[in-house]
Structure 1
């Protein structure tokens, strides 16, 4: 019989993270496009991000027919937060003279699934890309990063917001994420964690 779950954070009731989830706002809009394979994953950081950031939306799927129309609405400058050959720094984007708010579009999934989202939704490929500065260190100790600088969705967006709105702190977004990681490590046991995840 499945364990009862919190309707808000979707965690088992005894591991509910709601008390740690903030309700932050930002000038920057965030649209998370989550691959369906991530929805029931125990380490679903995109859901935590969407719950903690009032200016974030979470869409789940592979093909988003309404995406082009949504992004064409006036009022925001749209950028894809994803590595690529031609990327702009977030600092340069922040200093743009237009003064128009920014919307970050963020694919969520494994690198392979995230690239699939780009392939299935060509409008994403047409967006200018932004990326985080080199040297970012992930706190996501339970997944082996496929490349240097790989961050979870919640870490990447938090770091991006800190760069785009340096007058504010978004560190509170990471509190439930940290608790989630610590809970998983505790459940697996220190020896198992050390054997499988520590160098």
Structure 2
């Protein structure tokens, strides 16, 4: 029989993360487009980002039919958080009345994220933004495909910390860190060290 789950964070009730999830406001509107294969993943960091940000939304799917309306959200300028040859490194919002970003964040493995762009040509056409130098990922349970690769939640936190400085969005990482600690505890220190190196 499946363990009862929290309807909000989708974690088993005895590991509910809701008490750790903040409710942070941001000028930036964050829209997370999640590949369906990620939605049932135990470490669903996009869901944590959406739950912890008031001005965020999580969409699950491969093709998003209402992208035209979404990208025309009044008061925002859309940008895709995704590396690429012409991606601009994010910088803080200026003093002048700078329209905040409607930050579109694909969520999935690199292959699945690229597939989302391929299946939604409007996304492919958006101006791209990327992160500058980043701290190493705290995501100790997945091997990073390359140095500087972050989980979706970490990428969102880094982006908002840059855009909206001096405001900090690090509180979003609390449930993420608790989730990782819980997974490590469940697998046992020995197994963790064998599979993922020293904690």
TM bucket (normalised to shorter chain) is over 0.9
**Aligned partners of 1:63, 1:132: CA distance in 2, in Å?**
26
TM-score by length of 1: 0.96
Q: Which runs of 5+ in 2 are unaligned?
A: none
CA distance in 2 between counterparts of 1:121 and 1:144 reads 28
What residue in structure 1 maps to residue 58 of structure 2? 58
Deviating beyond 2 angstroms after TM superposition, the runs of 4 or more aligned structure 1 residues are: 94-98
What is the match of residue 15 of structure 1? Answer: 15
In the alignment, what sits opposite 1:154?
153
CA separation of 1:58 and 1:135: change in aligned 2, threshold 3 A: closer
CA contact (8 A) 1:136 1:150 kept: no
Q: Which moved more, 1:99-108 or 1:130-139?
A: 130-139
Give CA deviations for 1:54-109 in whole Å, capped at 9, x if unaligned. 111000000001012220233211110001000112117x3385511211100000
Deviation at 1:46, TM superposition (A): 0.5
Paired residues in the alignment total: 198
Partner of 1:127: 126
Q: Is 1:193–2:192 an aligned residue pair?
A: yes
- Structure 1 segment 1-199 matched on structure 2, within 5 A: 1-91=1-91, 94-95=93-94, 97=96, 99-198=98-197
Aligned mates of 1:25, 1:109 — CA distance in 2: 25
What is the root-mean-square deviation in Å for CA atoms of aligned residues? 1.3
TM-score normalised to structure 2 length: 0.96
Judge conservation of contact 2:134–2:158 (CA < 8 Å) in 1.
Answer: no
Q: 1:78 to 1:170 in 2, by over 3 A?
A: same
Aligned equivalents of 2:62, 2:84: Cα separation in 1: 20
CA distance in structure 2 between the aligned counterparts of 1:136 and 1:55, rounded to whole angstroms: 25
How much has 1:2 moved relative to structure 2?
A: 0.2
Distance 1:145 1:96, change over 3 A: farther
Quote the Cα distance in structure 1 between the aligned partners of 2:109 and 2:95: 31
C-alpha separation between the residues in 1 aligned to 2:166 and 2:95? 17
SS at match of 2:190: helix
Unmatched 5+ stretches in structure 1: none
